[in-house]
Chain A
Amino acid sequence: MKKAIIGVSVAVVWGVCVTMFALAAKPEQTTENQFTILTVKEDAVKDYNTMPVFQDLAKETGLDVKWTFQTSTQYGNNTDPVGIKGIDAIYHSGFSNLKLYDYGKRGRIVAIDQYLKVMPNFQKILDSRPDIKEALKSPDGHIYSLPRIEEMGLKQFPNILYLNKKWVEKLIDTNQMPSNVVLTKEQLKDGLDLKRSEFKAILEKFNQLDMDGDNDPKNEIPLSFVSNNWQGNEADLIASFGLPENREHKTVVGDKITFTFEDEKWFDAVKEIADWHDKELIRSSAFTQGENDFLARGQGGRYGSFYWWEKKTVCSNSDDYIIVKPLINDETGERYVGVSNEQEIEKGEAVILGSCENKESLLSYFDKFFEPIYSAQLNYGSIKSGAFKSEKVNGKLIPNDDHGEQSADDFRMKNAPYGVVYLTKETWEKSVEMESRAKLRLENLEAYVTPYKFEGATSIPNLNYSNEELVTLNTYEASLSNNVASWYANAITSGAVPTKASWQGFLDANKKSIEKVKEINQGAYDRYLEALNK
């Protein structure tokens, strides 16, 4: 009897526990219009749930959207972010082309092109801009992510050459200007014209003399950059030899995919840069440092000149630096600038999970993001939180730079969610004014850099490959870029003069890779052109 009582009570307790656990584990009942979106943001950025722009969006669409967060470190630790339970979409997913395609073909993220009927804005974009449509497609022709499109025309030209005006003035004052350079102090302003040989001669003086006046003639760095970085690299220095160089050494010239390193001018450039390195005009740290090291080294005012997209962040004495136009080729008297392959159409900003129950509603919500009024707020911060001036000018929203003690950068970092936006030339003209720093940079580029773009050179767009092509590309492209990077860095920093035989040997050793990569890229590019012309 006793045993039976114990048995029954154990069973009852067990039953109660199981029911309680089951109830606790049951997800909240969600209605059709409730969504949870995971976003990747740092702790300093404000809670998206409290941002007026998202509150406005929710009000307009009648959806109840809850944002949850992970920092980029947390997010990076997910091996399978799409598998996270209880979310309907990922904002700032950062998925690569390959990942989008892999998730897409498994149906784990939604093919957005199948829901265009509820997305009038996105539909309009795709209809009016075949290049965007092509760029967003995956190998199977589907669009698996919502893009970020911010067309300012800045990314194609990521390098500007800055020169320390104070140091040059010092050379003029002390009569130590190199004999082949004739410069007056009046000429030392933005847009300075210099031949490459003149620039070199000035750098040599920078290296020999104690320019910063600390009685140490050796701590000046005549020219600095971050080799192989997406911006602030030495591509334009190489381009000055007469070829459209960018950091991938790959560009389109007259509809043909071209590797710049196959050109003999490229070898001449490498030889010359090696000489600059051996003469201590460029430090070997330029080839090992990252962005942060570069910026840290610049703070003490040690740079005689540098390549970067702007000067304020590089040095505390930024007023001392002036813009030098692309260096003039001594033989031809021409200037050349390459075009980078950085894209202004970015895939993978937001993905909708296959498990989302009401895809139409959520996509119609995201479709609103493409409207200028929302794009602007997503990019710069909400109107209600003071990101824009209270009065429009010519119907355009004007970004507000004055945030009291807070810097404009700081304000934007905390208040703007970024992500899915559509800001094009038309938007800048009609609806939103560009941020002043970007505007200044654009003006600088238009005045001093873009006019010298290598004729016929364009950047390589997002190309689509078939499965087989992807496999072949995987085999050859990574090893080729490894080999180029190491040959290049060695040729310059080894201390020996690079020989033509070694360059030829490098080309021969990689012949097959070069041919394969070029062939596949060209095929994909031809298809891209064909699709555009349809």
Chain B
Amino acid sequence: MTDNSIGQTSAEELLKPHSKWEDWKANFKRKGWILLFIIPAFIYVIVFCYIPMYGILVAFQDYMPGDPILGQGTHWVGWQNFQTFFSNPNFQDYFWNTFILCILGFIVGFPLPIIVALLLNSLRSKKMKKGLQILFYAPHFISLVVLVGMMKFIFGSDGLLDQLSAKMGGDPNGLKLFLNPDAFRPLFIFSGNWQDFGWSAIIYLAALSGVDPSLHEAAKIDGASRFKRIFSVDLPAILPTIVMLMILSVGNLMSCGYEKVLLMQTDGNLVTSEILSTYVYKFGLIGGQYGVGTAAGLFNSVINVALLVIANFTSKKLSGNSMW
């Protein structure tokens, strides 16, 4: 009978109206230790993402390395650095260049790994799949400097193609891809995607491996073609991953890295290749205008945050998937 009574009380307890807080407490007691796993990530984010943020204050100072960021020797200048940055006659061009370069990179670069992952996943031969996958992501491990070196060697002035065309009696001045402002964006985007599409596909492949095989079997029995199954089974399965990654990439839309742009820059393509981050590098770090450089970087980050919020909101409304 005792068993029964215990069962009864717990049933009563369960039926009692619970507050959310009590639920949470009970839950925490039972599974709270799992939270310990967050600690390394938490420390990482605090140390590398939040603590350095105090450096943003430099945007409002006449700063020089060695100055205290907060203290007696700090030279506050208010919004002057931002004024200097915004009144730069080329500011609009730099902004526009950044935007176009990044958005084009996004349009080309975002769907590519998804398509590749879906295609790889539906390959019948396991060996073929493994082989192709390695082949696709190998270029990821080439360093940027080497990549741009290769590009210059092949496409650059007096490069491989120019010499070939000269050998065959053509114009030795040939392609001039690195001097042509119109060629900069395609060159930048396609080389970037060539390098990274295989690597970015890995995360989608991982998501695809989690698709329940019985769904595929059911679809097969229903007579769905291979193509139909990709659209009706695989794609919906990885849709949350896609949306999440899209929101994250939109949040990075205005930052496409200065290193490669800088390496590819020549006087000839400056019209399209001078972007906000190269400006920050040249003016801020090389020119020693740390305040103005930080102001420009901060401006860039603010835009990124705004884009992130908009993307998240839109996706929440449209697909129900969101980060928060």
A→B interface (CB under 8 Å): 79-80, 82-83, 96, 98-99, 102-103, 106, 108, 216, 218-219, 227-228, 277-278, 280, 283-285, 287-289, 297, 471, 474-476, 478-480, 482-483, 485-486, 488-490, 493-495, 510, 512-513
Residue among B84, B166, B282 making CB contact with A475, cutoff 8 Å: B84
Q: Which 5 A-B pairs have the closest CB atoms?
A: A80-B65, A486-B270, A285-B157, A489-B267, A489-B268
Which A residues touch B271, using CB under 8 A?
Answer: 486, 490
- Contact between B87 and A475 (Cβ–Cβ < 8 Å)? yes
Tell yes or no: B192 within 8 A of A by CB: no
Binds A, one of B195-203, B214-222, B285-293: B285-293
What's the Cα separation between A370 and B176 when bound, in Å?
Answer: 50
Number of B interface residues in the complex (CB < 8 A): 41
What's the Cα separation between A142 and B171 when bound, in Å?
Answer: 56
What's the Cα separation between A284 and B87 when bound, in Å?
Answer: 34
What's the Cα separation between A258 and B294 when bound, in Å?
Answer: 34
Tell yes or no: B240 within 8 A of A by CB: no
- Contact between B267 and A218 (Cβ–Cβ < 8 Å)? no
Instruction: State how many angstroms separate the Cβ of B10 from the closest Cβ of chain A.
Output: 48
Task: Please name 20 pairs of A and B residues whose Cβ atoms are closer than 8 Å in the assembled complex, sorted by A.
Answer: A98-B289, A99-B288, A106-B73, A218-B169, A218-B172, A219-B166, A283-B172, A284-B157, A284-B173, A287-B179, A297-B158, A474-B283, A474-B289, A475-B84, A476-B88, A476-B89, A478-B282, A485-B267, A486-B270, A488-B267
- Contact between B157 and A288 (Cβ–Cβ < 8 Å)? yes
- Contact between A493 and B176 (Cβ–Cβ < 8 Å)? yes
- Contact between B66 and A83 (Cβ–Cβ < 8 Å)? yes
B→A interface (CB under 8 Å): 62, 64-67, 73, 80, 84, 87-90, 156-158, 163, 166-167, 169, 171-174, 176, 178-181, 266-271, 274, 282-283, 287-289, 292
> Interface centre among A82, A218, A480, by most B CB within 10 Å?
A218
What's the Cα separation between A277 and B66 when bound, in Å?
Answer: 49
Instruction: State how many angstroms separate the Cβ of A101 from the closest Cβ of chain B.
Output: 10
Which B residues touch A287, using CB under 8 A?
Answer: 157, 179, 266-268
Nearest A-chain residue to B290, judged by Cβ: A79
Which A residues touch B270, using CB under 8 A?
Answer: 482, 485-486, 489
With known contacts A218-B166, A283-B172, A478-B287, A486–B88 Cβ distance under 8 A: no
What's the Cα separation between A427 and B180 when bound, in Å?
Answer: 50
- Contact between A98 and B158 (Cβ–Cβ < 8 Å)? no
Instruction: State how many angstroms separate the Cβ of A120 from the closest Cβ of chain B.
Output: 33
With known contacts A486-B271, A513-B89, A284–B176 Cβ distance under 8 A: yes
Q: Is the interface of A mostly helix, strand, loop or mixed?
A: helix
Which A residues touch B156, using CB under 8 A?
Answer: 285, 288
What's the Cα separation between A488 and B271 when bound, in Å?
Answer: 11
Instruction: State how many angstroms separate the Cβ of B86 from the closest Cβ of chain A.
Output: 9
With known contacts A471-B80, A471-B84, A485-B267, A103–B64 Cβ distance under 8 A: yes
Nearest B-chain residue to A227, judged by Cβ: B267
Instruction: State how many angstroms separate the Cβ of B112 from the closest Cβ of chain A.
Output: 30
Which B residues touch A495, using CB under 8 A?
Answer: 176
What's the Cα separation between A483 and B90 when bound, in Å?
Answer: 9
With known contacts A489-B266, A490-B271, A289–B157 Cβ distance under 8 A: yes
Which A residues touch B90, using CB under 8 A?
Answer: 479, 482-483
Which A residues touch B64, using CB under 8 A?
Answer: 80, 102-103, 106
- Contact between A494 and B178 (Cβ–Cβ < 8 Å)? no
Which B residues touch A493, using CB under 8 A?
Answer: 173, 176, 179-180, 268
Nearest B-chain residue to A79, judged by Cβ: B65
Which B residues touch A297, using CB under 8 A?
Answer: 158
- Contact between A284 and B89 (Cβ–Cβ < 8 Å)? no
Which B residues touch A289, using CB under 8 A?
Answer: 157-158
- Contact between B287 and A98 (Cβ–Cβ < 8 Å)? yes
What's the Cα separation between A285 and B156 when bound, in Å?
Answer: 8
Instruction: State how many angstroms separate the Cβ of A224 from the closest Cβ of chain B.
Output: 10
With known contacts A479-B90, A482-B274, A80–B66 Cβ distance under 8 A: yes
Instruction: State how many angstroms separate the Cβ of B142 from the closest Cβ of chain A.
Output: 22
Residue among B80, B268, B283 making CB contact with A490, cutoff 8 Å: B268
What's the Cα separation between A471 and B77 when bound, in Å?
Answer: 12
- Contact between B67 and A106 (Cβ–Cβ < 8 Å)? yes
Nearest A-chain residue to B180, judged by Cβ: A494
What's the Cα separation between A79 and B286 when bound, in Å?
Answer: 11
Which A residues touch B269, using CB under 8 A?
Answer: 486
Which B residues touch A106, using CB under 8 A?
Answer: 64, 66-67, 73
Residue among A79, A278, A474 making CB contact with B84, cutoff 8 Å: A474
> Interface centre among B176, B289, B292, by most A CB within 10 Å?
B176
- Contact between B267 and A82 (Cβ–Cβ < 8 Å)? no
Instruction: State how many angstroms separate the Cβ of A446 from the closest Cβ of chain B.
Output: 33
- Contact between A102 and B288 (Cβ–Cβ < 8 Å)? yes
Instruction: State how many angstroms separate the Cβ of B55 from the closest Cβ of chain A.
Output: 12
Nearest B-chain residue to A228, judged by Cβ: B267
Nearest B-chain residue to A96, judged by Cβ: B288
Residue among A218, A475, A480, A488 making CB contact with B167, cutoff 8 Å: A218
- Contact between A285 and B158 (Cβ–Cβ < 8 Å)? yes
Nearest A-chain residue to B81, judged by Cβ: A471
Instruction: State how many angstroms separate the Cβ of A450 from the closest Cβ of chain B.
Output: 29
What's the Cα separation between A512 and B89 when bound, in Å?
Answer: 9
- Contact between A280 and B171 (Cβ–Cβ < 8 Å)? yes
- Contact between B283 and A478 (Cβ–Cβ < 8 Å)? yes
What's the Cα separation between A478 and B88 when bound, in Å?
Answer: 9
What's the Cα separation between A227 and B266 when bound, in Å?
Answer: 11
Nearest B-chain residue to A218, judged by Cβ: B166
Nearest A-chain residue to B283, judged by Cβ: A478
Nearest B-chain residue to A293, judged by Cβ: B158
Which A residues touch B266, using CB under 8 A?
Answer: 287-288, 489
Instruction: State how many angstroms separate the Cβ of B59 from the closest Cβ of chain A.
Output: 15
- Contact between B173 and A277 (Cβ–Cβ < 8 Å)? yes
